Structures are given as C-alpha cells and as structure tokens.
Structure 1
C-alpha cells in the first residue's frame, strides 16, 4: 500500500487531499498545527483507519526534525508540501516586514526544511515523488498584473526550491515538481474562484500518478499543463 504525507490538512486543499487519498486506499499521514481543533480532518481520521494526523507547525524546524525521527523507517511514496499562508498587506504602500517574513518562512523556508528532513523517507519508497504547492502567481514569466508581493515572491521561491531539489535529489531517483492547483474555492482562494477542491485534487492526483523522471523540475498545473517559470 502506497503512503502519502501531506502538510496543512486542517482545511482546503490539504483536507481534500487526505479525503481523496484515503478513498483511493493509500496510507495517509497528515499534519496540521492543531489536530485537536481540525474538526473535519479529525473526524476523517476517526472514520478511516488508513489516516493518521500529526501535530506539526511547519515553521518550527525542531518540530520538523522530530516528526522525521518519529517516522524513521516509514517509506513515503509522495510528499506533498501543501501548508502555506498569504499576508493581508500585499501591495506597495501597505507592506509590513514582519508579515512578509512570516509568509517567506512558511511558504519557502519550511518546504526546504521538510525536503531536507524527509528526502530519505521518500527515497526509500517505490514512487519517490515530492510535490511543492506552487502557483501561477509565482510565475515571473506569467506576471502581468503585479501586486501580491509577499505571496508572489514566496511561490517563486518555492518554485526555485523544487527545481533545486529535482537536481540535488536526482541521484536518489526522486521526482520533485511544483504544482499549480488552479484558482480554487478555499478560505485563501475565496468564493469567486474557478474550481472546487475536489476537481483540483483529483486533477493533481492524476498528474502525480503519471509522473516520470523526465517530469522532475517542472512547474505543472492540476491538468498537467506546463507553466512558465
């Protein structure tokens, strides 16, 4: 049975990831900052023996190391770096350094630390895939509207990390990609977004399942299309 580890499963994309992977028969390991208050994820874990929740603040590097140690010996077929944040003040004239730094820490530094901590877990698996939750908003070539300074910067940084990982982990036969989930109806995406979470997650899971080593280092959408860096 394949195993997936997903960060940030208390709501939105992460919650739908654990729901669909559990339905597909995978062993599902989900993390969030406060599992006791993650009502829907906690209920799903109670109903599905294949789902286990772990407490993890991805901004805490010691906690990342502790979880990696807890899961030592567990082969992780797919590692999905889903946890992320967006600052309230995002344009020139309203930027706040502390908010900007928080976004960069959660969206850029944390994924790098997670990859470092769990690379050997992934390398020990059959599928050997790491997915960073990127965004078309992090595409420099696709930026025609400006704004969203911290979020755009963080996703561009995440894209760079996934490209780096695709090179540095090639010797471990790990496939590392960034994925744009689409504009999804979530707390972050808003109610006016284009697609629902079930459509996004089903699409990403299908793309992940079909990945080959030649895909490593690419920025793909939930439909499998390639985006410009």
Structure 2
C-alpha cells in the first residue's frame, strides 16, 4: 500500500487529497492542527485505503520532530505541503505588516520544515514525490494586478524553496514540484471559484504520477501545464 502525508487536511483541498488518495488505496497520514474538530475528516470512509489522523501545527518544530520520530520507520511515496493561509488582503497603503511574518511562517518556512523532517522517509520509497501547493499569484512574471502582497510574496518565496529542495533532494531520488491548484471553490478561493476541489485534486495527483526527473524543480498548473516564475 503506497503511503502519503498531507498537511492542512481539515477542509478544502487538504481534505480532498485525503479522500481521493484513500479511495485509491493509499495509506494517508492526514495532518491538521485540531483533528478532534475535523468532523469531515473523522467521518471519512477510507474506501480501500487507510487514514491516520495526526495533530500537527506545521509552524511548531517540536510537533514536527515528534511526528517524524513517530513515523521513523515508514517510507513516504508522496508528501503534499498543502497547509497555507491567505492573510489580510489589503494592498499598497493598507499593508498589515504585523501579519506578514505569520503568512511567511505558514506558507514558506513551514513547507521547508516539513521537507527537512520527512526527507529521510521519502528517500526510503521507490519513486518519491514532494509537492508544494503554491499559487499562480506567486508568479512574478504573471503579476499584472498587484494586491495580496503578503500571500503573493510568500508563494513566490515558496517557489524558490521548491527549486532549492529539488537540488537538495535530487541525490536522494525525490522529485520536487510547486503546483498551482487553480482558483478552487474552497473557503480561501470562494464558493464561486471556477475549479471544483475534486477536479483540482484529481489533476494534481495525476500530474504527480507523470512527473519525471526532467520535471524536478518545476512550477506547474494542476493540469500539468508549466507556469512562469
């Protein structure tokens, strides 16, 4: 049974990753800050797979280290850094500077912490993948509207972290990619967004299986289309 670890699983994309992976026969380590309050996750029918819930605040180094030790002997075929926050939406002249560091802590530093914690688990698998859920809003080349400075900058930085990780982990056989899931109808994206969570996640998982060594360190849409940095 292949094994995955997904962060930010209490709702939205994270929950959908768990649902689809478990339904396809995966063992999924589903991580969120308060698993006892994650009603959908608790009641999820894993189908042919297995769901193991874990309490994890991705910004808490001690919790991460503890989970790493708990899963010490377990290979990971897939690691999805999904946990993220948007932060205040104010633009130029209305920047919430006091919140900027927290957005970076969750969206940029935490994926790096998670990757460092579970690199040894990934390298034990045959064809491991590490996906960082980024955003097209983090593309410098595609930015024509400004706004959302906190979120944009944190995802642009995550893209650089992804590229660095692709080099760091290349010798361990891990393929690393940043993925834009689309404008998804979640609490963050809004219910009128164009892409359903089911379609986004299905696309991301299909793309993950297609990734080869030549794709290592790239930035892709959920349909596998390369995106500009």
TM-score bucket (shorter structure): over 0.9
Q: Establish whether residue 129 from structure 1 lines up as the match of residue 132 from structure 2.
A: no
Q: Deviations over 1:66-100 (max 9, x none)?
A: 11111101100000000000112431222122211
More divergent stretch after superposition (91-100 vs 76-85): 91-100
Q: Which residue of 2 aligns with 1:153?
A: 153
Give the TM-score taking structure 1 as reference length.
0.97
Q: Which residue of 2 aligns with 1:181?
A: 181
Q: Which residue of 2 aligns with 1:68?
A: 68
Secondary structure at the counterpart of residue 44 of structure 1: coil
CA distance in 2: counterparts of 1:127 and 1:205, whole angstroms: 14
More divergent stretch after superposition (82-91 vs 71-80): 82-91
4+ residue segments displaced more than 6 Å? 45-49
CA distance in 2: counterparts of 1:45 and 1:77, whole angstroms: 22
Q: Establish whether residue 215 from structure 1 lines up as the match of residue 203 from structure 2.
A: no
Q: Deviations over 1:96-153 (max 9, x none)?
A: 2221111000000000111111001001012211000011000001101101000000
Q: Which residue of 2 aligns with 1:21?
A: 21
CA distance in 2: counterparts of 1:56 and 1:34, whole angstroms: 8
CA distance in 2: counterparts of 1:77 and 1:90, whole angstroms: 39
Q: Establish whether residue 44 from structure 1 lines up as the match of residue 44 from structure 2.
A: yes
Q: Which runs of no fewer than 5 residues in structure 1 stay unpaired?
A: none
Give the TM-score taking structure 2 as reference length.
0.97
